[in-house]
Structure 1
Amino acid sequence: MKKAIIALTLIVLSVAIFLTACSSPKSEFMASFRNIVKNKQYTATFMLQPKAISGFEALDRLNPEALTASNLTVKTSRDTERDLTYSTFGIHIGGAPTMDLTAHSFQNGSTGKTFVPVNDFFETAAPVTNMLDLATDSVYSKVLSENEDLKGKYIDLLQTLQNVTGQVIDENTVDEQADQLQAIEGKTAFLLYKKLNSLDKSHYQTVNGTIKLTLNKKELAELANAWLEEFHSNQDFISIYAEIAGLTESQAKEGWENRSSEMQDALKSLIQNKKIQLSTIMTVYPDSDKGVKKLVMAFDYANQDKQQKLKFDFTMNLLDFEKIPTPPTKEDILTKKELDNVMTDIIRAQRK
């Protein structure tokens, strides 16, 4: 059943992302989303906010009130013509004390490069720094104090991964995987379009200037099953799965076929189990200029037998475009020598 929930969660989130990027299959949604595809530049915020969590063994040791007071946010500015993206990631952890972790990234789609500012490590909030020092026996702060000359520079993630893992990562392979992911996203969007287009008009309602789309357990399970069917033997998906799992393509194909079959069986059981309630309501706030100014997806799961409850909201806001900061130049990026020096400092500090 856990596999079914995971599959459904991924599909529901994909639906939300799809609806923010494509026109709706129904006329009401088309009127709201028709201008989104015209936006060559946009800024958007995304938030995942738990509303209720209870009955899950893996989370029993955590404070439920702290969990529902926590959230994950992403703010993204995208310039499609320059193929540049600047994102700010935020994690707010509720409870006492509260903690906020912030990170940034530049993505250059034309080169496949992703850069992270070194300043993010120097500007962590006090509770986060204290936690990292506690976990590393103060190695975190010690290494930072020895490398303050790196402030203002940027980390090339691909280069850093090569340094840390000792493996040479072929940039052509990275580009190929990016194309494969794009193909998977395209197929997913088209699949969702077809499935949503087949829904009866009664699913869509206009309420106080908003448009609501309601999907029940059976419809969500059918969406998930359709996705599994589509990618049961998809070569792009198999290649990505093999890379992530560290398998040969033949091993990945066999393994994925088994896992997808198991998930399909779990989805059938989910539909038949009357003790499990599952639904989602998507609320769209139309905008004459942007197409959509806000989308809220409310996810609701309950299992009567296990006394489990899970509710969360996924919210997207489309904002006025915020200019992307100037991308880092070659001189701004940490060299291999500088990265090696940092790694040496970490090893030296750990030995003391």
Structure 2
Amino acid sequence: MATSSGGTGKAARAYLWIIAVAVLLAVGLSAAWYYLASQLDTRAARTIEMARAEGTEIDCTNREVFGYPFRLGLRCDAVTVEATRDGVRATAGALRTAAQIYRPNRIVAELDAPLIVDTAETPPLEFRWDLAQASAAFWTDGLDRAALAVEAPVVALTQPAAGRLPLVEAGRFEVHLRRREADLDFALSSRDTRIVAPQLAGVPAYASDIDLTILGAADWLGGGAAGRTPGELLAGRQGKLRSFSIDFGDAQVDLSGTFAVGADGLVSGDFALAVQDPARIAAMVGEAAPQLGSAAQTIATALSFAGRTENGRSVIDLAIRDGNVAAGVIPLGRIPPLR
């Protein structure tokens, strides 16, 4: 009986130790969560104040920290950003951001539609979607990668006197950015994209993809691109375009090659243009952008007698020198300097 009593006492003490450790862990986790929550709210308030000092008003209505005990996030019922100096105002629905306590360097976010963007130089645009999610991962050099995925996006022109005028809609839209040592990888894809603006309603649905690397541009993820125009960002840069493709199903276009942008914004590079059904592509370009119709027709003609056939597509090499585009000895036009 003594042995049995001794065993029971040891088991009870073991259970007590387990309970005590569990309580200590819960208390520690709770204390850590509330401390981090306080820091997050303080940092959010500080960011808003810093933006205001620089002339940008940010309103996060009913800001609240949530997620106890295993997540830590910030949410608000609506978001407004107004940069008076630049004449830009954007409003959107509810915002929710969160990170797992055990993986604080990865943040995910959701934003509710609609997003309305109004600038001094353009009419208001309205963006709607079923679901918009973004994620960002941070490492020792700051932002390491970021992604945005939008389900069923619709872009419309807001016309106060006539209501919304839909321009473009798609089944899904994605953007990915990734730091690769000193370089920046960029990928964009759009599926089941349809131009629904009345003047271009005849363009069939298509899928598009862009995959490129810009050398030495990894610092853009750390804020190095803020406030700079595309021309300023790309001046003096080199890159590789692995693919820029538009697929209409039975007609396709794919462009790939290397490029460099001079200090004056002029583009140079060597590319391969692969086209399936060049005549139809040229006709669609002429309908969508009449100012490019002549160049598209010239390329289609050049493909017919100067191109080569690869995998059922006509392929031609394009050379761009200081903005001047040529297919062999055939001049095709000029790309204006990037601004």
Q: Tell whether the structures are fold-level matches, with TM greater than 0.5.
A: no
**Could you say which structure has the higher helix fraction?**
1
Higher RCO (CA < 8 A, seq sep 6+):
1
TM-score (norm 1): 0.28
Give the number of the structure whose alpha-carbon radius of gyration is greater. 2
